[in-house]
Amino acid sequence: MTQDKTTHKPVKKAVFPVAGLGTRFLPATKAIPKEMLPIVDRPLIQYAVDEAREAGIEQMIFVTGRGKTAIVEHFDVAYELEDTMGERGKDLGVLESSRFVPGDIITVRQQVPMGLGHAIWCARAIVGDEPFAIFLPDELMVAHKGSTGCMKQMVEAYDRTGGNLISVLEVPENEVSSYGVIDPGAVDGSLTQVKGLVEKPAVADAPSNKIISGRYILQPEVMRVLEDQEKGAGGEIQLTDAMAKMIGDQPFHAVTFEGRRFDCGSKTGFVEATLALALEREDMGSDVRAVMERLLG
């Protein structure tokens, strides 16, 4: 399953497709991007960017759309806020993780949300000829205590395999139809060879219950495949369909993330993530537990 380590370039760029409409969270997402909804006190996009930085990624490319400017502003310097907080002796440390080296936040526009594959293709000029990571920020990947984040685990695997990598997790068989599913080949620890990919299969046709879970490392050739990609499931240009065409030409593996994943694109997943992270916080966990006990009677 491994390639010569010297043959592949390091992953230094990440694409964050954030141009979706967020219809499942309306009306909350009418004026606020879904990616700015907070889990406790950090917006979803911040968790994804922090995960990227931990994995050694330097350039963050946001594929944005109408009404998404708050995402870019979040990573800007907030002069008035910082001045006022400084004058009042408040700790500016809370703003540290949203600071960036100038030039390392790049945005491109997807004018019409034609699907995830199309959103990624919109970043082609900035990705250039390098391997790149993709983060779907509404999927929150939380590492186990003392362990590393999902993308860092993937980059470590990529150092061994090269090629294309996707993060997967197992779901109950009757849930596969909502996701991209892999046709699994040989398994080596947390690595599984990918023989095929299918977007939103019927339960009876699904090749496995291992679903793609919002993190990817892809070779730049995918941009050329996306160039000609036709519409797939839901009438959208699907990234899964483009990736499926690359299997066989390049190594393709799935990494099972050792950690937890919360689907914050769904309301129940969002609430679950909020409760789980709040309960684990040293500064508020016991208060939240008391509140929950009171609510549950």
Chain contacts with ligand UTP (rule: CB under 6 A): 17-24, 34, 63, 110, 113-116, 118-119, 136-138, 265
Nearer of residues 26 and 187 to ligand UTP, judged by Cβ: 26
Nearer of residues 162 and 232 to ligand UTP, judged by Cβ: 232
Report, in Å, the least distance between residue 15 CB and ligand UTP: 10
Report, in Å, the least distance between residue 14 CB and ligand UTP: 13
Q: What are phi and psi of 196, to 5 degrees?
A: -165, 165
Report, in Å, the least distance between residue 86 CB and ligand UTP: 34
CA dihedral 286→290→295→297, nearest 10 degrees, is: 140
Q: Which residues pair with 255 in a beta bridge?
A: 167, 191
Nearer of residues 18 and 191 to ligand UTP, judged by Cβ: 18
Enumerate the H helices of 167-284 as residue ranges: 221-227, 239-246, 267-280
Nearer of residues 217 and 278 to ligand UTP, judged by Cβ: 217
Residue nearest to ligand UTP (CB): 20
Report, in Å, the least distance between residue 149 CB and ligand UTP: 18
Work out the number of other CB atoms within 10 angstroms of the CB of residue 144. Answer: 10
Element (H, E) at 211: strand 210-218
CA separation (Å) from 155 to 108, 197, 246? 25, 21, 19
Nearer of residues 35 and 274 to ligand UTP, judged by Cβ: 35
Report, in Å, the least distance between residue 34 CB and ligand UTP: 6
The encoded tokens of residue 92 equal: 């500016």
Residue that the structure tokens 């070779």 belong to: 219
Nearer of residues 18 and 254 to ligand UTP, judged by Cβ: 18
Report, in Å, the least distance between residue 64 CB and ligand UTP: 8
The gap from C-alpha 36 to its chain's centroid, in whole angstroms, comes to 14
CA separation (Å) from 148 to 52, 83, 177? 11, 35, 30
